[in-house]
Structure 1
Amino acid sequence: MTDSSPPSSLSSALSDVVARIAPSVVSVHSHRSRSTGFVWKSGLIITADEALADEGEVEIGLADGSRVAATIVGRDHTTDIALLRADIAVAPVKLATTVPPLGALSIVVATHRETPSAALGMVSASGKSWRSLRGGDIDARIELDVRLRESQQGGLALDASGDAFGMAVLGPRRVLVIPTATIERIAPQLETRGRIARGYLGLGLQPVRLDDGIGAMVMNVDKAGPSAAAGIRQGDVIVAVNDQKLSGVRALSRTLGPASVGAVVDVAVRRGGEPVSFKVTVGERPEA
């Protein structure tokens, strides 16, 4: 006689969910670092960028205990997404664009010590888009009340129906989810270009307080950058961009996302106390 009580039914359902997803989840090994990844497309694995070493070889650990060499296709530290390529015959995961509601159950399917692992928790925060400490735009704020080890970072966050809604990562004092919308926006760019384009003015700026607001003093100018070409000089104070008063240097940097590359912006400055304006074509930030 089978036990059809609610706890038993829930237990069986969650077990089935994990069993269905686990074959697409792999372990990631990079220079003394162990984390988790999942197959996004055939031969392409997504993992947490922060858990990936900056140098050395990368290997993918499979369910049968074998390891396969992997190469880094691209990585974006601002959204914590890294894309790897490996010659593996593992089925990709279908990501769902849903954002789970507050209080919903969530399962993180990952790896630990090179074997599949699972952790059950609750969605402790579910909200609007936000900006990471590294300046990346994350499409939804999802936090999980669940305990994860370092090696489980990069695992898949699932709802109780088994839909994968993002990648679980370790944030400051909490577990965060990089949602599907962010993954599907960033990963294709990494696949085709190996990096995410960021806007570039070619200026080193220092905030200054003015009588009528906040400005940004130009401390140095990249002689080969777009602002130099437009005529902006060291000592100029930027007071507005596209007729919008400056609210700070950080706020200006936030406007220089991928969509800004190639745009022409009106930059209002004060030079020796006199107003001057320039048209600057936003460039693409060179790789560090």
Structure 2
Amino acid sequence: MSIDPSSPALLEQLSTAMAGAVAQASRSVVAVQSVPPGRVRASGFAWRDGLIVTCEEAIPDEVELVVGLPDGSHAAATLVGRDPATDIALLRIAGASPTPVAFDAPPVQSGVIALGVGAADGAPVAAAGIVALAGPAWRSLRGGDIDARIELDLRLRRSAEGGLALDARGRAIGMTVFGPRRRVLVIPGPTIERVAGLLAAHGRVPRGYLGLALQAVKVEPTGFGAMVMGVAADGPGAAAGLHQGDLLLAWNGEPVHSVRRLLRALGPASVGSVARLSLKRGGEPLEAQLIVGERPAD
């Protein structure tokens, strides 16, 4: 958007610029619905030719989907893959595809104007507000790595979830989703590019797998560890020689303070890595090496 602050028609200029940004973005935004209608009403956008990104949480399992395109036509959609950890789902449509989005906006700052653009009933749906919070990378409650923490102070319709978030110049910064208490969050462009690329290539996002059931325990006098409560047959833990009852004290030289933190660190980059484990078995110290596997699809 380009605004002349010396003009007496400043508000009119701002209004026109915002409407133009919404119109430009709506060329890439689609409506995502279930067949028959009613079960799913969300938005999405063209990521690559024939590929649509939308909000994973809005798409139930085993549902037939149709995408409403910007020209008013509809296209059947099939699910390529989904990643609940980052709330990203990837759909494929046949035939003509909307203009793919380019995530070329610089990092946003708190207090700047932000727009949300979705689609419903063949028309764009828009919301305006500000960036309430712009923070560093974070990890979702489901263990997904999100490249930036962006929260928007705006009122978003349910049907617009999965649409685009724009900065003050109309550039796409990410996908709008609902967080706790319907807070509007943004899954930023770099996260979408990374996760959608994995979904397009593999149908899912690979994550690390130990094949171990672990339970946090206190270790005297003041330490913590993880007790091996179960070992999956043919899993990485079994291949490393771990037994039920082993006490895991350190992972690559770092003390194990939290089982949850350890498991959440098993992201895509961990698959195939080798971890040095410091254990106790029957009170005796033991060292082992474990090759992190890939979590089974189920």
TM-score (norm 1): 0.96
CA distance in structure 2 between the partners assigned to 1:44 and 1:281 by the alignment: 34
1:19 aligns with 2:23: yes
Q: 1:29 aligned to 33, 54, 61, which one?
A: 33
Partner of 1:146: 154
For residue 19 of structure 1, what is the amino acid of its counterpart?
A: A
1:6 aligns with 2:10: yes
Instruction: Pick closer, same or farther for the CA change 1:50–1:228 going to 2, 3 Å.
Output: same
CA contact (8 A) 1:97 1:181 kept: no
CA distance in structure 1 between the partners assigned to 2:177 and 2:98 by the alignment: 22
Partner of 1:203: 212
CA contact (8 A) 2:208 2:293 kept: yes
Partner of 1:280: 290
- Secondary structure of 2:197's counterpart equals helix
1:165 aligns with 2:182: no
| Structure 1 position 97, deviation (Å) | 4.6
1:74 aligns with 2:84: no
Unmatched runs of 5 consecutive residues or more in structure 1: none
| Structure 1 position 99, deviation (Å) | 2.0
For residue 77 of structure 1, what is the amino acid of its counterpart?
A: P
Q: 1:179 aligned to 185, 188, 191, which one?
A: 188
CA contact (8 A) 2:46 2:97 kept: no
Partner of 1:232: 242
1:60 aligns with 2:60: no
CA contact (8 A) 2:177 2:186 kept: yes
CA distance in structure 1 between the partners assigned to 2:157 and 2:188 by the alignment: 20
Matching of residues 93-112 of structure 1 within 5 Å: 93-112=101-120
Farther-moved stretch of structure 1 (89-98 vs 54-63): 89-98
Unmatched runs of 5 consecutive residues or more in structure 2: 1-6
Partner of 2:231: 221
Residues 198-250 of structure 1 deviation map (CA, whole Å, 9 limit, x = unaligned): 01110011111111311111111111101101110111111101111001101
Partner of 1:192: 201
CA distance in structure 2 between the partners assigned to 1:265 and 1:203 by the alignment: 14
CA RMSD after TM alignment: 1.3
- Secondary structure of 2:193's counterpart equals helix
CA contact (8 A) 1:113 1:151 kept: no
- Secondary structure of 2:43's counterpart equals strand
Partner of 2:256: 246
Partner of 1:117: 125
> Percentage identity across aligned positions?
53
CA distance in structure 2 between the partners assigned to 1:130 and 1:54 by the alignment: 27
Residues 5-58 of structure 1 deviation map (CA, whole Å, 9 limit, x = unaligned): 110111111111111111210001136111000001111000000011111211
Partner of 1:133: 141
TM-score (norm 2): 0.93
For residue 33 of structure 2, what is the amino acid of its counterpart?
A: H
Residues 158-196 of structure 1 deviation map (CA, whole Å, 9 limit, x = unaligned): 011011000000000210000011011111111011111
Residues 233-273 of structure 1 deviation map (CA, whole Å, 9 limit, x = unaligned): 11111110111100110111122111111111111111111
CA distance in structure 1 between the partners assigned to 2:236 and 2:167 by the alignment: 46
Residues 74-120 of structure 1 deviation map (CA, whole Å, 9 limit, x = unaligned): 11000000110002331111112522100000010101344211100
CA contact (8 A) 1:205 1:217 kept: yes
CA contact (8 A) 1:110 1:118 kept: yes
- Secondary structure of 1:23's counterpart equals coil
Farther-moved stretch of structure 1 (96-105 vs 164-173): 96-105
